Amino acid sequence: MIYNFDKVINRKGTNSIKWDARELVRKFGITDRFDDDTIALFIADMDFSCPQPVLDALHKRVDQKMFGYTTHLSDPEYFKAIQNWFKRRQNWEFPAESIVYSPGTVHALKIAVKAFTKPGDGVIIQRPVYYPFTRVIEEQGRKVVNNSLINTNGYYTIDFVDLEQKAKLSSSKMMILCSPHNPVGRIWKPEELDQIARICLTNDLVLVSDEIHGDLIRTNETFYPIANINQDDKIIVCTATNKTFNMAGLHCSNIILRNVVMREKFSKMMGIQMPSPFSISALIAAYNEGEEWLEQLKIYIDGNFDFLAKFLEKKMPDVKFKIPEGTYIGWMDFSGYNLSPEEVHDRIYNKANVVLEDGKIFGEEGLDFQRICIPSPRSILEEALNRISLEF
């Protein structure tokens, strides 16, 4: 089947956080201006239709006409679909019993922090990084330990000397790794992942790897699950269908815990979680039949990144930008304009009426940056960029 990612689908009036949540956006201080003319590229979901097999599976579920309490535990196809996907796509194998359902990845991170650390403990993250990492740590009364990434002309690397020093602190008990990294887009190399794992395990830190963007990589790149690089069963890996197949609203993450004792503790803290009947049907269809869609999507996203890079080079050459290895997120450095972050914000959000995300929310390392999510029809991306360029 050939998918048309250029087709514009009107999402307004569909309860979309991205396109309808004006008051929510204002509440969180993202922008004061949000109207019918606003172009929203600020949240990590796609403006593309889900794979046809997923839609077919959901229609079939609707035709059953009942949506009672639902369990995935009695359906071996649920577990087989997950296992087969990761074996096929990433050469990663794990037993079915290691899979724990969670209604979301951020929720799973919250549970992991509560289960494996105590109030006052330190949790290592690598800023600039997905800002809910900070929230789940601080809301549980734990302390953020920041191992800042090193930015060399837009290419980010890990400060391993600093990481080792912070891992050795008696208060450090956990590290949350973002792989691929959001927002800088790095796919960590096997040697980097091995060094991260060895530092954490040597110092008795629980290592949690958020790998929900692992399917969304450039067509010439390879993603490496950390559990394939280091076989220690105490590494926790977060997976999800939400980013890969544009199904965030179905709330379906699967956390891989191979260590029995840790899995039992995590599951007890998680409590009983029942996925929606739609989540079950959609996951099975996506993992069993969604590859054709995903491969076409990756080519289209690569094209969007090429378009973004060429546009910036031609019309906004003072913006520093490097096409990411993974994710569908662009990390744009506006420091070349010698404007305050507030002025950059005003020109984009208020004057151009385009909503992105200010880099400062990912840590002070992102102060001069803007995060843009580009999985939209190219016509929408082009209109947003044209508006922004006219203000600089």
Could you read off the pLDDT of 340-356 as tens digits, one per residue?
A: 999 999 999 999 999 99
Half-sphere exposure of 119 (CA within 13 A, CB side): 3
Q: Where in the chain is the domain with CATH 3.90.1150.10?
A: 17-51+291-389
Averaged pLDDT score across all residues of the chain: 97
Query: Quick one: 94 exposed, middle or buried, by C-beta within 10 A (0-12, 13-18, 19+)?
Result: buried
pLDDT of 54 over the 90 cut? yes
Q: Does domain 66-289 have CATH number 3.40.640.10?
A: yes
Which CATH fold topology does 17-51+291-389 show?
Aspartate Aminotransferase, domain 1 (3.90.1150)
Q: What is the pLDDT at residue 368?
A: 98
Q: Is 7 helix (H, G, I), strand (E, B) or coil?
A: coil
Q: What's the pLDDT score for residue 317? A: 98
Q: What Cα–Cα distance (Å) separates residue 1 from each residue in 4, 8, 44, 375?
A: 10, 19, 25, 20
Q: 23-37: b or e for each residue (b if 16 or more CB lie within 10 Å)?
A: eebeeeebbebbeee
Q: State mean pLDDT over 145-172.
A: 98
Model pLDDT, residue 24? 79
* CB of 10 closer than 8 Å to CB of 47: no
The count of other CB atoms within 10 Å of the CB of residue 141 is 13
pLDDT at site 111 = 98
CA atoms lying within 13 Å on the CB side of residue 274: 7
Burial class (CB in 10 A: 0-12, 13-18, 19+), 210: buried
Mean pLDDT of 300-310: 98
Domain with CATH 3.40.640.10 in the chain: 66-289
Quick one: pLDDT at residue 19? 94
Confidence of residue 32 (pLDDT cuts 50, 70, 90): confident
Q: What is the mean pLDDT of residues 12-21?
A: 92
Least confident of 27-41, 207-221, 230-244, 279-293: 27-41
98 Cβ contact list (under 8 Å, min separation 6): 256, 257, 258, 263
Mean pLDDT, residues 86-100 taken together: 98
